[in-house]
Amino acid sequence: MAIKNLKKHFNDGLRQYYHSTGVYDSLIYREMSANLSLSQDQKIATLIKKIEKNYNKFYLHKNNIQFSNNKINSKIMIIGDFPSLDDKKNNSIFSDESGVLLNKMLSAISLSTDNVYLTNIVHFYLEENKQEYLNQKSLLKKFTQEHIEIIKPKIIFLLGSLPLEILFENQYSLIKNRGQWIQYKQKDFSAEVIASFHPNFLIKQPNQKKNSWKDLQILQQKIVEFNI
């Protein structure tokens, strides 16, 4: 305990010294300025490198990330769970049966995957160590928050329980909060979030499509309200 306090005292003293010399503030300013000068594409490329560095042991091939559909100018961000084996083979996301259903769902409210930003919480097909990966929730949340900060959507549509659990931890559940608007706040940025069933779940449980349709209508109302 004494050692811990000593380290804290040393770090605080060092920080105060750098503040007094202006070095500390200068370093922070330089880092912030560097980030502000990057384009969206460059920020995404930087984020992908971070993900690769942290999760290299979970996938076999270096360039195996299926990150998004790259519609970075959209104000609607849709976040699913993770790519499928078909997505890995096609080097894409939602390229399987769930993607076909998602397109039908979006077209029912005059949208398509061409005018939304489509991504997942996990960015590569998990062949092994799936649970070990998903246990790293704090890191997943950190990368997802950074991803959202880059895109800056007005509306976030979460598909399934995993993105809801990662983004809001245990505050909400899909069973209790499906179809409800949740405000997401991060630094000086905020967005409206709504969660619904993942298309994969609807394929297995088609009787839930009527509830999914209700959620889509709520989503459509917010899109009209925001004039997106």
Q: How far apart are CA 110 and CA 227, in angstroms?
A: 13
Alpha carbon distance, N-terminus to C-terminus of the chain:
55
Q: Which domain holds residue 14?
A: 1-37
- Give the per-residue pLDDT at 35: 57
Q: What is the pLDDT of residue 86?
A: 94
Is the domain of 30 the same as that of 111?
Answer: no
Side by side, the strands of the sheet bearing 76-80 are 117-120, 76-80, 155-159, 189-196, 181-186
Q: Can you list the residues of the chain whose pLDDT is less than 70?
A: 1-36, 57-63, 128-129
Number of domains observed in the structure of the chain: 2
**Which helix (H) or strand (E) element contains residue 43?**
helix 40-55
Q: How far apart are CA 214 and CA 56, in angstroms?
A: 40
Cα–chain-centroid distance for residue 48?
A: 12
pLDDT of 160 reads 97
Whether residues 44 and 96 fall in one domain: yes
What is the reported pLDDT for 29? 43
Angle (nearest 5°) at CA 119 between 38 and 112:
110
